[in-house]
Structure formats: structure tokens, C-alpha cells
Structure 1
Amino acid sequence: MNFQLPNYSIKMATKRNEPELCTSTSGDVSPQKKMKDIRVWMDGCFDMVHFGHANALRQGKEFGTQLIVGIHSDAEVTKHKGPPVYSEEERYKMVRAIKWVDEVVEDAPYVTAIETLDQNNCDFCVHGDDITTTADGQDTYHMVKKANRYKECKRTAGVSTTDLVGRMLLVTKTHHQRDARIFHFVHSPWTGVSQFLTTTKKIIQFSEGREPKPGDKIVYVAGAFDLFHVGHLDFLEKAAEFGDFLIVGIHTDPVVNRYKGANYPIMNMHERTLSVLACRYVSEVVIGAPYSVTAELMEHFKVDVVCHGMTPVMRDVDGSDPYAEPKRTGKFKAIDSKNDLTTQIILERIIKHRLEYEARNKKKEEKEMRILEELKAQKTN
């Protein structure tokens, strides 16, 4: 099998950009304040942590020098939104691994109070430009807004936890198609999505932007990384320990579909790419990586070690072992991350509690539509 350079390889330098949307109830930060440490508070459920969450945190970090993220407990999430898919421990761990996060505060209160900001030495709170409410419909940020310690960033269009849960409830491949009609399971002004469109700007924003240094030991792994979860995270953390520069190959949707089955992947290739790029252990991503790890691929990226987890490996289309070459050259390492969580297990969680999640999505839709009508009425008046 001849190796061809994939269409996309993340090797782009990046710089600190201004937030995509910077609105504030208190105006811009003064030049004097910019010279000092500015601690930014962001909080949320962060259920099924995805690239939309990561993008919000990336933007939040642009407002200051330190990003402190508060994460709600399972009890709080269940009370105000419905049962979370990921446990609180999984959510804490996932957010800690996002490269823009400096600190995580566990069991953060659902309603953001001035006392919470002060206790964590935070200057202000940042949230997306959607509406978040408690179980009784109260704006969870009303106190920090009133105190002029609230700023907004732009939420990522085209993805939400509600959307991903809906995809799994449908158990369909239609999320790869560009047809907005397929998303009728969610009608919402904020979380109802049609299609996520990847741009080079977004990839650059997520890219670490550094090249391996002379003498760096380069590690290569590849896979689907669908619904990026703590199983993937633990594997990448272990793989990163084998060298200095971790490259992750992301397989195309048809390739993933071939070795995982008709209902996979849940997320398309570009969505999966951004989810992996947000991980602090990852140095570079190859988009559309070939299934077999060939000698040409290893030479091109100067790979020293090729790692794979404990999951079964399907043969390539020609019947060959996709890891034959790194095994032959003694560069192959099998990794046991001690975490057996898989995308299939997450899907089974959703299916097992299907009625609960359907009710959660419906409740969220109704609440958001009611808020939208109230906002329209206020604008008219």
C-alpha cells in the first residue's frame, strides 16, 4: 500500500487572537489591568465534553491570563437539566485535559454568584451568547450580570451536547449529510443545529502551532476518536509518555465506518479532529490519516514509536496487518491505559436511558423556546 500525504496535516503556527465576539456589561478591560494577572471564571456542566466546549474555553482564555473552570456535580446537573451522560469524575478529568484550562473547581454552584468569583480570585465570568437557566427558569448568571462582572463569547454553531445525544438516539449516519431537515429532533434558537462547518481559521485556533525540536522522540497513534472521552484521554496520556511529540492520525468517516460498523462514526472527521486538537497531550493531528501505518508514513513524520491500545485491530482492505511495518521495525508499542471505556459503551448509556434523555432534550427545547418568546416580547415592548 503506497503512502500518500494526507490532505491536511496540522503544522500551522498560531497566535493569540481577540475573542470572536467580545461583549460585556462592564466595557473593555483597562490597559493597566491587561498588564496584570487576569483570572477568568467559566462554569458549566461540560457533559460529553466536545469541541464546542473547548472552543468556548479557548475564547474565555483570551479574555485574561488564567482560566478557572467550575464544573457542576451530577446532582446539580440532574436537578436543573436532567441526567448527565458522563459522570462528574469523567467531566472533571476531561476538562482538566483541555489545553486552555489552568484550574478546575469541582462541584461548582449552578448559579454563578459574586462570592464564587471572589473565593477563586476571579475578575469576572465569561459565558457563551446562549441562555442558561435553572430548573425554575432563572438566568444562572443574573447576579454577575447585575454586578457588571460578566462577559460573553460566541458559542460554537453546529454542535451541542443535546445534538450529540440526539444523534445517538437516532443511531443514524445522517449527521454526515448536509441536510438541515435531519435535525428535527431539536428545535432551539441556541442548541438546535444544522451542520458544523470546519474552516481553516478554526483549525489554526485549535492547533498548538509548534514543530518537534531537534532530538525530540516522536510518537504516532491513529484511530477514530469518536465522541472523544476519558478512555481516549487516558490512552493519549500514556502514549505521550513514550516520547516528546505526539502526533494523532484521524481516520476518515468511510474508514471508521468500515471497521466500526454501520452506525459509526457519530461525529464526522472534522468534528473529531477538533476534539483531539483540544487535548493538552496532543502536539499535532493528521486529518484523514491512512489506515495502515506504512514505512513511508513513519519516514515522513520521522516517527520513533507507534502506539495502539488494547482494542482489537481489523485487517486492512487487502487483508494485511495495519501495524505490520512498525512491528517489523520494533517501533510498535501496545498500551494498556487501564480504562476500558469505549464509544460503544457511551452509546449504550444513552440507549439504556433513552426515555430520560428524550425527555431531557424535549424539556430543554421547551424552556429555550419559552425564553426566546419572552425576549421577543421584551424587544417589541
Structure 2
Amino acid sequence: MASDDCSSKLIAAVVLGGIVLSSSLFALHLLHLPALSSPGEALWGWTRRRKKPVRVYMDGCFDMMHYGHCNALRQARALGDVLVVGVVSDDEITANKGPPVTPLHERMIMVGAVKWVDEVIPDAPYAITEEFMKKLFNEYNIDYIIHGDDPCLMPDGTDAYALAKKAGRYKQIKRTEGVSSTDIVGTPTFVL
């Protein structure tokens, strides 16, 4: 009889202890203490690393917005958690490709309306300069610069993404074939 009484008391103590421990952990969870990422951290000092979101940047003229632009933005967003899009200024487009059909403020509205775009930067340069690249990395916390697999050349023939490639922070997506604002508008003829 004494051993049955001891067993009953032991079982009751274990059950009661489990209830108290569970209630304590649940109360800690409800408190949402900002310094604690889990109840285990409160009791045993465990920490769980929080994954930093990958921020990617893509720029473009986005003149006469079409499905090729949307497909590029979709692919770029798939390479990160946050997509920041630079919309090239009217002056930069004019200097490198000819005058845009759609003004900057309208192009920004269209780009910002695309569901894969998280942030929009106005007046992006046509080519990634060292100064702008530092701004992307330091102010916007960009991890990678994205562009399509079509060559993006400056009027002098240099690669507009050469610095990003050299920095090892460049990723490439597949260009959507068969659609291009430049082809629709036609190649500009510059008068010197």
C-alpha cells in the first residue's frame, strides 16, 4: 500500500510540475518581451538567429510599361525578400537612349503599382556609378544589384553594370524576348 501511495504522490507531483512549468512558459510567451526571441532564451540563454532579409535592387527606364518589365520585376523579387527599384531620370534616358515617352512621375507610379515592388527610388542613374553603388549598399542596405541578361551599354560601349559585377554583388535574370519599349519607339537619331 505504501508504494502505491508513493507512486500516486510522484505522479501528482510530476503532473503539477508540468502544469506550473507550462503555465510559466506560456506567461513568458504572452509577455512578448522584446529582448527575448523565445521562452527558451529566458530560461536557458538560448538565442535564435533572425534571418536578415535579402534586399535586391533593379533599375530601369520602365518607359511605356509592358509585360517584359513586369516579368523582370517578378524575377528580381524572386532573388530577394525586398525589391527596391530605381527609375531612371528623364535626363539620363534622353542622354543615353533618346527622350522618354512617359514622364518620370508617371513611370514611378506604374512601377510602384507592381505587386513585386517594395520601394521605388526616383532619378536613378542610367549606369551604376561608384557613388550611387555606395549609396545603394550603405543607405538602402542593398545586397545585390539585378539586371537582365541583355547587354546594357553606355553610348561609349562600356557596360553600365561593370562596377556591380566587379564588386561581386550582381545577379542576372532572363530577359523577356520579343518586347522592348526601345523597339516600339524606334532607335533615336541624334543630331550633332
**Which letter maps to 1:149?**
R
Q: Does the Cα contact within 8 Å between 1:129 and 1:152 map onto a contact in 2?
A: yes
Instruction: Give distance in 2, aligned partners of 1:145 and 1:51.
Output: 26
1:77 aligns with 93
Unaligned runs of at least 5 residues, structure 1: 1-32, 166-357, 364-381
1:142 aligns with 162
1:257 aligns with none
Residue in structure 2 matching 1:117, options 136, 141, 162 = 136
Deviations along 1:223-246, one digit per CA (max 9) or x if unpaired, are xxxxxxxxxxxxxxxxxxxxxxxx
CA separation of 1:138 and 1:48: change in aligned 2, threshold 3 A: same
2:7 aligns with none
Deviations along 1:142-175, one digit per CA (max 9) or x if unpaired, are 100001000000000111112332xxxxxxxxxx
2:152 aligns with 132
Deviations along 1:39-90, one digit per CA (max 9) or x if unpaired, are 0000011111111001000000001100000011100100011111111111
Secondary structure, aligned partner of 2:69: helix
Q: How many residues align?
A: 138
Q: What is the TM-score of this pair, normalised by structure 2?
A: 0.67
Aligned CA-pair RMSD: 1.9
1:95 aligns with 111
1:112 Cα deviation from its structure 2 partner: 1.4
In the TM superposition, 1:249-264 aligns within 5 A as none
Is the helix fraction higher in 1 or 2? 2
In the TM superposition, 1:1-381 aligns within 5 A as 35-113=51-129, 114-118=133-137, 119-165=139-185, 358-360=186-188
1:217 aligns with none
Unaligned runs of at least 5 residues, structure 2: 1-48
Instruction: Give distance in 1, aligned partners of 2:57 and 2:179.
Output: 22
Q: What is the TM-score of this pair, normalised by structure 1?
A: 0.35
Moved >6 Å (runs of 4+): none
